[in-house]
Structure 1
Amino acid sequence: MGHNAHRLSLEWSRIEPAPGEFSRSALAHYRRVLTTLASVGLTGFVTLHHFTLPRWFAARGGWLAPDAVELFVRYCNRVVAELGDLMPFVCTINEPQMIALHGYLEGYHPPGMTNPILWKRVGRVLLEAHHATVRAVRDEGARSRVGLAVQLPLLEPARDDDSCVAFCRALRTEIVDLYLDGLTGPDRGDFLGVQYYRRQWVDPAVPTLFAEPPAGAQLTQMGWEVHPDGLRQQLHRAAAAGLPLYVTENGIATEDDHERVDYLETHLAALAQARSEGVDVRGYLHWSAFDNFEWAEGYRPKFGLIAVDHDHDLRRTPKPSAHAFARVATTGRLDALRHGIAVQA
């Protein structure tokens, strides 16, 4: 499909199914996967933690356990020792702010808490875990480039009154600024992964803290507002961290492949504009290659460039958008996206 990079995650619970017990078969499995990636010319972007936790770690209190960072680093040390030669890029933690927000304030991801104090505490623990993991990777002597992958929604106040504006600013501090401004010192990493999907309207008067998008806004299957220029704006904000940027996630949940091609075109154009304005963006990884299991939503949202048929042995069929994206990947030209395209909804 013309890609030269592939992002994947390692499952901590497979590798360390019990405390201090590391599975040779799981590590061998991932070694085969990463070896295959390299053999076909794909650069691996390997995420060490993508939302899920081993049950034993969760039972200890998860990220609130007093030794949470120490235990996570022990797992990372073993992974790097076994697989570091096959991981050109390492993402330490995927979307730490969403782990904190969804799991400890909104409560719709595990552990299902709605506690503002714990929300803020977990965010800082995850940032500490990132720094500790950067040190661990380097101490193992791996040549991997290491970075944090953050989701950066464009947050706007739903109303132009003082309380709403102030609350939006406070929420932006915890969801965006904490992580970008916290990437300081020798262990901040080598790059920053930027993940962008939507604009969100902040409203302290709404129980969920986020108002519905304005009437008439284009929405995805997830109910997210499509706002391409938000990617350009958030790339500029991320650039303030002073690290090279890679877009490690960006995509749309839709059954309509016309929409997916439109989304690709407008968001890649926003990325190109950011680059032309001086932002150091070095790569783009689309979310996602395949229709995936979307955490609290299951298989309903269709994010993939490639369809997966769960009724027929997981048969995989590239969508027209996959071929469109491949033309951009192989030529480096956005105008190649629609060349000869005939998209079926």
Structure 2
Amino acid sequence: MPYQFPDHFLWGASTAAHQVEGNNTNCDSWVMENLKGTRYKEPSGIAVDHYRLYREDIERLAALGLNSYRFSIEWARIEPEEGRFDEAAMGHCRDVLRTCRNLNVTPVVTLHHFTSPQWLISAGGWESEDTPARFARYCAHVMSQLGDQIPYVCTINEANTPIGIDKVIKQFQQGGSASAQVGMNMDFQEQMRNYYAELSKAFGLPPQEVHTFLSPRSEEGLHIIFQSHVEARAAIRQVSPNTKIGLSMSLFDFQSVPGGEEQAAHELHEEFLQFLPYMEDDDFFALQNYSREIYGPEGLIPVPGDRERTQMGYEFYPEALENVIRCASKHLNKPIIVTENGVATDDDTHRVAFIDQALKGVAACITDGIPVKGYLHWSLLDNFEWQLGFSKRFGLIEVDHQTQKRTPKPSAYHLGKIARTNTINTV
């Protein structure tokens, strides 16, 4: 199948700091992974040792033919105690960016990817009215020193994810079943109450006052997340005016059968449309998609038994990406960068097929004039998938968790060939 993409298209892959770097000991997730009765299958530990091996990982990305790397900077490393910024951690980030520049790889940087400093959670976390100012201060510190090396920055990864978590909780409370949505294998009820008791001890707060980014959200808490984006954007513009700023959102392709149209429209509003005012002044939209959801008169329809499921429980449906791009473009008149799209599977031939179908949809959108500026596959490396541990395989590059040996999969070479065939220019 021929691909038609513009010059300067960003071809790349993505990672998140906590999922690949290892020994992120000052963040909230580290606490939760190591608690008695933890809901995590296993702790992250050294993850895939990317904090030490980042140079060869980025070299591998470039050698494949990719020209862009999306990664995150870890707030808990930069500001391990409130108001104290770690210059060694900043130096590490500076060298990651230098490595990208030397290899002609365009960095797309995310400043918050799910994990937060432990001190922030003890200070009220993502329900505290002080969090937007604290987050903006951190972003300003990073971008004042590194912004001239960062052409694209996402303030927050998947700012709407807490909505999906609330849905999973409600499904369990109502006695229903839920797939491993949003990467969290959530088993609540009595075990969860015991877990939160341990969590409250760790952060010195009552259980109901422990508010990590991935905790259930109040309406005010949702506002705090998006207001953090607004204040961070303003702070970044002051210190790094040439950096393009966006927000990352995770969206399903919301579909319906007769009788489910109103419910599907409600889900789109709840997860995307209600937040459009917060993004009006952004420079681009960072879009993330993995599958679809289909709604009927009774609500969400389970994935039919004859449809392939991924390791995450999603329906294998790469066609969703085109639909979500078209939907986002209709409602938000901004350039789009696909910052995550991929599939968890041990069968790499399915990953190749997923990439082909997803890119066919991206190309169709571009042909129709939608300004899609890049496709960054999730993920570069097999990594730590939060509560599910290391068992889910999203990577273009296989990682032996025992030896840390890297082996590019056929899908890595496949995506690299597509990139080289079309363009390897960077922005």
Q: TM-score per shorter chain, which class? A: 0.7 to 0.9
AA paired with 1:321?
A: S
- Does the CA contact (< 8 Å) of 2:366 and 2:372 recur in 1? yes
Q: Distance in 1 between the 2:367 and 2:83 partners?
A: 48
Equivalents in 2 of 1:52, 1:41: separation in Å?
Answer: 29
| Structure 2 length-normalised TM | 0.71
Match of 1:287 in 2: 378
Partner of 1:145: 244
Does the alignment pair 1:276 with 2:367?
Answer: yes
Q: Per the alignment, in what secondary structure is the counterpart of residue 222 of structure 1? A: coil
How many residue pairs were aligned? Answer: 319
Residue matched to 1:328:
418
Match of 2:405 among 283, 297, 315: 315
Partner of 1:342: none
Aligned to 1:156: 255
Structure-2 change in CA distance of 1:30 and 1:113 (3 Å)? closer
Q: Write the distance in 1 (CA, Å) between the matches of 2:224 and 2:231.
A: 10
- Structure 1 residue 311, shift from structure 2 partner: 1.8
Post-superposition Cα deviations, 1:155-192, rounded to whole Å, max 9, x if no partner, equal: 234x644xx544433232111212345422xxx21111
**2:94 pairs with 1:31:** yes
Q: In 1, distance between residues paired with 2:121 and 2:300? A: 28
Asked if the contact 2:148/2:240 (under 8 Å) is kept, the reply is no
Q: 1:253 is matched with which residue: 306, 323, 344?
A: 344
2:130 corresponding residue in structure 1: 67
Instruction: Measure the CA separation in 1 of the matches of 2:390 and 2:108.
Output: 24
Q: 247-256 or 219-228: which moved more?
A: 219-228
Question: Which residue is equivalent to 2:230?
Answer: 131
Distance 1:180 1:237, change over 3 A: farther
Corresponding residue for 2:200? none
The Cα of 1:10 is off from its aligned counterpart by 0.5
* Structure 2: tracts of 5 or more residues without a match: 1-63, 170-183, 187-210
Matched, 1:228 2:314: no
1:177 aligned to which of 265, 273, 276: 273
Q: Secondary structure at the match of 1:326?
A: helix
Counterpart selection for 1:5 from 68, 89, 109 = 68
**Amino acid aligned to 1:177:** L
- Aligned equivalent of 2:334: 243
Q: Is the 8 A contact 2:111 2:156 kept in 1?
A: yes
Aligned to 2:395: 304
Among 168, 185, 190, the residue aligned to 1:106 = 168
Residues 36 and 113 (structure 1), Cα distance of their counterparts in 2 relative to 1, 3 Å cut = closer
Letter in 2 for 1:47: T
Shift of 1:45: 0.3
What is the aligned-residue RMSD (CA, Å)? 2.1
Q: Is the 8 A contact 1:198 1:226 kept in 2?
A: yes
Q: For 2:164 and 2:245, how far apart are their aligned partners in 1?
A: 24
For the 8 Å contact 2:151–2:244, the answer to whether it is kept is yes
Aligned mates of 2:297, 2:237 — CA distance in 1: 42
Decide whether the 8 Å contact of 2:318 with 2:355 is kept in 1. no
Whose RCO is larger (CA < 8 A, sep 6+)?
2
Q: Which residue of 2 aligns with 1:339?
A: none
Q: Is the 8 A contact 2:258 2:297 kept in 1?
A: no
Contact 2:311 2:344 in 1 (8 A): yes
